[in-house]
């Protein structure tokens, strides 16, 4: 027994039987036989094709410029915008009749995303327009940086209307760029409901003031009121107004 036969015996195998070559005369008398090829294992075929495809893709990636590789590998990624490439391109305003007169500003960007902000408390829109030159070309996502550069132009009450409007519009843009609510950017949800109050205009008499208050509470459903009490309600009452 040869060494190879001993190894095969230990493995429980045996050598294939020798095939005798037929003589030319015998070959001419034999009928040719046709057998169908054994079907290839589907799993093995899939792995083989995957390997070949991977090699082809790998070679094309290695030979492509990095910009093309990134574009190809991320072409199906859904993006709402590219925040790092955002630039402010314009600032405009519109005057509404809310609370008598309220200006709303609109900050536009190079990607079609815009933000809205209110010039608070009926302040003049020029408080916002004078900041335009300091905003153009800036990335609106850098809210803190922009705010620190313009807050010096704010002030008390209506004078802060421009700075407030710009900051509000910037947060609006950032929320749209990242497709999340602005409150999420500012630390997350704090409450589900906010109690509102209504300002009740001044009246010419206490009786008229009562009617206005009743309208806010009964008709409009407010539970928290702010009332402007006019000195005019005291006019005509002796001892209440001096030089009135």
| pLDDT, tens only, 26-51 | 455 555 454 555 555 555 555 555 55
SS (H, E, C) the chain: CCHHHHHHHHCCCCCCCCCCCCCHHHHHHCCCCCCCCCCCCHHHHHHHHHHHHHHHHHHHHHHCCHHHHHHHHCCCCCCCCCHHHCCEEEEEEEEECCCCCEEEEEEEECCCCEEEEEEHHHCCCHHHHCCHHHCCCCCCCCHHHHHHHHHHHCCCHHHHHHHHHHHHHHHHHHHHHHCCCHHHHCCCCCCCCCCCCEEECCCCCHHHHHHHHHHHHHHCCCCCEEECCCHHHHCCCCCCCCCC
Give the pLDDT mean for 53-67. 55
Model confidence over 222-244: pLDDT tens digits?
A: 999 987 776 767 777 777 766 65
pLDDT exceeds cutoff 90 at 23: no
Q: Which domains does the chain have, with CATH numbers?
A: 83-185 (3.30.390.10), 198-234 (no CATH)
Give the pLDDT mean for 54-82. 59
pLDDT exceeds cutoff 90 at 149: yes
Model confidence over 87-139: pLDDT tens digits?
A: 999 999 999 987 778 999 999 999 999 999 999 888 999 999 999 999 999 99
pLDDT exceeds cutoff 80 at 209: yes
pLDDT at 61: 47
Write down the pTM of the prediction.
0.59
């Amino acid at each position: 027994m040869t060494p190879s036969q001993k190894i095969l015996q230990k493995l429980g195998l045996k050598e294939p039987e020798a095939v005798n070559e037929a003589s030319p005369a015998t070959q001419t008398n034999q009928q040719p036989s046709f057998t169908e090829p054994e079907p290839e294992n589907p799993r093995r075929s899939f792995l083989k094709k995957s390997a070949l495809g991977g090699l082809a893709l790998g070679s094309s990636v290695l030979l492509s410029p990095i910009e093309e590789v990134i574009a190809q590998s991320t072409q199906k990624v859904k993006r709402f915008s590219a925040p790092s490439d955002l630039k402010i391109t314009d600032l405009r305003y519109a005057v509404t009749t809310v609370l008598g007169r309220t200006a709303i500003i609109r900050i536009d960007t190079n990607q079609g995303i815009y933000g809205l902000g209110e010039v608070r408390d009926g302040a003049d829109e020029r408080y916002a327009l004078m900041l335009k030159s300091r905003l153009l070309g800036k990335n609106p996502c850098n809210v803190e940086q922009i705010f620190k550069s313009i807050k010096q132009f704010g002030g008390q009450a209506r004078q802060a209307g421009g700075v407030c409007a710009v900051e509000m519009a910037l947060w609006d843009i950032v929320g749209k760029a990242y497709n999340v609510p602005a409150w999420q950017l500012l630390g997350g949800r704090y409450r589900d409901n906010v109690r509102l109050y209504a300002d009740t205009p001044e009246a010419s008499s206490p009786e008229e003031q009562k009617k206005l208050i009743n309208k806010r509470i009964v008709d409009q459903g407010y539970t928290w009121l702010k009332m402007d009490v006019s000195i005019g309600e005291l006019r005509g009452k002796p001892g209440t107004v001096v030089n009135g």
